[in-house]
Structure 1
Amino acid sequence: MDVNMGNVLGLVFANMHDTTLGDMTKNRTMGSVMFGGRYRLIDFPLSNMVNSGISEVGVITKSNYQSLLDHLGSAREWDLARKKGGLYILPPFGNVESTLYRGRIEALYGAMSFIKHSRAKYVVLSDCDVVTNIDYKPIVAAHIESGADITAVAHTGVYSSEDIKTSTVFNVDADKNVTSVLINPDISGTCTTS
């Protein structure tokens, strides 16, 4: 299936897991934490989105995001300095009704005006701490083909309880449909995690 990635909006959560890094995120957002001496964590999801053909990306921020703004600059490094689409910084108080969000749903609510004004038909969400290469084209194609409301990227493997204590675990049926979700479970063994 050939997918028009121009119909896809990317959203990156810059602060979602700040507390997991303790002192490293005391004065900066997780997205601006250095990785490998050259990169910042935000570089990975931005590169994945741009390399997949997503040309409109919003970065949802919460607090301590000045170093993130300094790093992102004009967005030229990701080819997101554009007249149509491009990179947008979405501060926590995007509208009069919003407050400092406590979780992902409240953060999305704060960005709802941006999402509604986008001409994109689909939205790809990513946290900034996903340090891997992901091609979103086949994921979006599979999502469209399935007719599902939501598609999650997950991995099935053998995990210790320590490995997945801060993860989301999916129970899936034979058709890979999620039947239940466990948040921060105290389990081990073969699990499908996201």
Structure 2
Amino acid sequence: MRIRVLGIVLAGGKGTRLFPLTKERAKPAVPFAGKYRIIDFVLSNFINSGIYSIYVLTQFRSQSLLQHLSEGWQFGGLLKNQFVIPVPAQMRSVGETWYQGTADAIYQNLNLVEQADPRVVAIFGGDHIYRMNIAAMVEFHMHRNAEVTVAAVPVPKQQASEFGVIEAAEDGHILAFHEKNPDAPNLPSDPQRVYASMG
């Protein structure tokens, strides 16, 4: 039996570091290699991993992204549990504010998770360029009976100030999170590298 996985893509950031490319569009909608967009990487990772139920949380300058999703990521409505649905900010929090960060974006859309009733929720940023087997990560997560599993990639310690860094024990358990700290702890097995969070 397949594990019911709900994919959520965080695609609402301003993308200020990519300005002027993000002057008129969200960072996930920035073109890449011609007809593709940055968001296509995470969506392809989900689809290639057999995860077909995906919400894309949007906020800033989303029109180009919405158009791309509608033109390139529709399954034709054949099966109810196969979708890529953009979800604009709903202002569901007290004070009806825009998303106040990634955790708040998830919090304001918990109703979608409750309605889908998945076994696993896989949350990824829509602004990274990488290839990943998310199914393998879900399998690892289930095998370890983990509450949370975080994707990370080893990078040279000199780059620690550019990333959120995960401090991990030898067995992989997360001990702490260090945000853009040049003195972040290295990998237990490699003093020259740190775990950079992919989220």
Q: Could you say which TM-score interval applies, normalised by the shorter chain? A: 0.7 to 0.9
Cα distance change of structure 1 residues 76 and 16 upon mapping to structure 2, 3 Å threshold: closer
Residue 73 of structure 1 aligns to a residue whose secondary structure is helix
Segments of structure 2 that go 5 or more residues without pairing to the other structure are 185-191
The match for 1:60 is 57
The match for 1:25 is 22
Separation (CA, whole Å) in 2 of partners of 1:15 and 1:166? 20
The match for 1:130 is 128
Separation (CA, whole Å) in 1 of partners of 2:15 and 2:100? 12
The match for 1:141 is 139
Give the conservation status (yes or no) of the 8 Å contact 2:14–2:60.
no
Structure 1 residue 19, shift from structure 2 partner: 2.0
Cα distance change of structure 1 residues 80 and 54 upon mapping to structure 2, 3 Å threshold: farther
Structure 1 residue 80, shift from structure 2 partner: 7.0
> Which residue identity does 1:46 align to in structure 2?
L
Q: TM-score, normalised by structure 2?
A: 0.85
Segments of structure 1 that go 5 or more residues without pairing to the other structure are none
Separation (CA, whole Å) in 1 of partners of 2:14 and 2:139? 28
Give the conservation status (yes or no) of the 8 Å contact 2:93–2:108.
no
Q: What is the root-mean-square deviation in Å for CA atoms of aligned residues?
A: 2.1
> Which residue identity does 2:22 align to in structure 1?
T
Percent identical among aligned pairs is: 27
Cα distance change of structure 1 residues 159 and 36 upon mapping to structure 2, 3 Å threshold: farther
Give the conservation status (yes or no) of the 8 Å contact 2:91–2:99.
no
Cα distance change of structure 1 residues 121 and 94 upon mapping to structure 2, 3 Å threshold: farther
The match for 2:188 is none
Cα distance change of structure 1 residues 183 and 156 upon mapping to structure 2, 3 Å threshold: same
Give the conservation status (yes or no) of the 8 Å contact 1:143–1:150.
yes
**More divergent stretch after superposition (13-22 vs 92-101):** 92-101
Residue 19 of structure 2 aligns to a residue whose secondary structure is helix
> Which residue identity does 2:112 align to in structure 1?
F
The match for 1:99 is 97
Structure 1 residue 33, shift from structure 2 partner: 0.4
Which residues in structure 2 correspond to 1:69-84 (within 5 Å)? 69-73=66-70, 75-76=72-73, 79=75, 81-84=77-80
User: Does residue 178 of the first structure (1) align with residue 174 of the second (2)?
Assistant: yes
Separation (CA, whole Å) in 1 of partners of 2:76 and 2:46? 10
Q: TM-score, normalised by structure 1?
A: 0.87
User: Does residue 192 of the first structure (1) align with residue 189 of the second (2)?
Assistant: no
